[in-house]
């Protein structure tokens, strides 16, 4: 099987570049329990990691039996920020991968520009992505819709079929496929490999393998 060569690598942020999903999931469980919605660790991983806001909000409201109050998250913001300040690290192998890439790369995340920039700053990665950061807030629909990846590719001037997307969630992998891009599903974090598998998708568990996998995709 032949492929168009990869001319752009699009990275997700949380769980791919920075090891934040474990932190978010732990604090999510604490916060939602206080709001009357109890979730197991497995449920949070399955339903919350990489999911659009409307999906996990609906799950929380269903579990607690009533809508969330307006601005419900504001009192809890310090819990997330303090945990991230204390614990956030780069995903193992990412720095070496960025050094090794021979094609341009960018970032496309369902997170807000503010949260993306804070996490990149915390881990020393901001300079590597400055000017090439795309948020779901920039488009009509976030992942699993293809809008964000198509926007990133268009801005970077690369056709979708020559883009490779690195994702750690089923929502992100679905978005890559819908955009006509090749997906590389990273299962070295919280997401099981079987939840990432599918057409035009390579699943791997060691970030340091990515440059070689991309080279294979370029043949």
DSSP one-letter string for 50-75: T--HHHHHHHHHHHHTSPPPTTTTGG
pLDDT at 217 (0 to 100): 55
DSSP per position, 137-167: GGSSS-TTSSHHHHHHHHHHT--GGGEEEEE
More confident residue, 55 or 177: 177
Block residue for tokens 């948020």: 135
In the chain, domain spans:
8-19+88-218, 21-86
Predicted local confidence at residue 3, as pLDDT: 55
* End-to-end CA separation in angstroms for the chain: 9
Q: pLDDT tens for residues 99-143?
A: 999 999 999 999 999 999 999 999 999 999 999 999 999 999 999
Q: What angle do CA 15, 102, 175 make, to 5 degrees?
A: 40
Query: Would you tell me how many other CB atoms lie within 10 Å of the CB of residue 1?
Result: 3
Contact 49, 29 (CB under 8 A): no
97 falls in which pLDDT band (50, 70, 90)? very high
| Mean pLDDT of the chain, nearest integer | 93
Fold classified for 8-19+88-218? Rossmann fold (3.40.50)
Q: Which residues pair with 204 in a beta bridge?
A: 186
Look at 15-29, 52-66, 171-185 and tell me which has the smallest mean pLDDT.
52-66
Higher pLDDT, 219 or 67: 67
Q: What length does the chain have?
A: 219
Q: What would the pLDDT profile of 142-160 be if each residue is shown by its tens digit?
A: 999 999 999 999 999 999 9
pLDDT in tens, 173-211: 999 999 999 999 999 998 999 999 999 999 999 999 999
Query: What CA–CA distance (Å, rounded) separates 203 from 168?
Result: 9
Q: Please tell me the CATH code under which domain 21-86 is placed.
A: 1.10.150.240
- pLDDT at position 146 is 98
Look at residue 1 and tell me whether its pLDDT is greater than 50. no
pLDDT at 17 over 80: yes
Determine contact, residues 8/162, Cβ cutoff 8 Å: yes
- Return the pLDDT at 218: 47
């Amino acid at each position: 099987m032949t492929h168009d060569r990869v001319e752009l690598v699009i990275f997700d942020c949380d769980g791919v570049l920075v090891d934040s999903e474990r932190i978010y999931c732990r604090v999510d469980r604490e916060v939602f329990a206080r709001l009357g919605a109890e979730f197991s660790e497995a449920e949070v991983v399955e339903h919350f990691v990489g999911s659009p806001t409307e999906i996990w909000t609906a799950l929380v409201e269903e579990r607690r039996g009533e809508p969330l109050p307006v601005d419900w998250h504001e009192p809890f913001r310090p819990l997330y920020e303090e945990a991230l300040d204390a614990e956030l690290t780069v995903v193992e192998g990412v720095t070496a991968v960025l050094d090794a890439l021979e094609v341009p790369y960018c970032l496309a995340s369902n997170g807000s520009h503010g949260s993306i920039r804070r996490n990149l700053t915390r881990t020393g990665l901001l300079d590597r992505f400055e000017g090439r950061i795309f948020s779901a807030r920039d488009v009509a629909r976030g992942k699993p819709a293809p809008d964000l990846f198509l926007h990133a590719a268009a801005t970077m001037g690369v056709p979708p079929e020559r883009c490779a997307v690195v994702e750690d969630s089923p929502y992100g992998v679905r978005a890559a496929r819908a955009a006509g891009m090749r997906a590389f599903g990273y299962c070295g974090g919280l997401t099981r490999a079987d939840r990432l598998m599918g057409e035009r998708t390579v699943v791997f568990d060691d970030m340091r393998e990515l440059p070689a996998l991309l080279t294979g995709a370029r043949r």
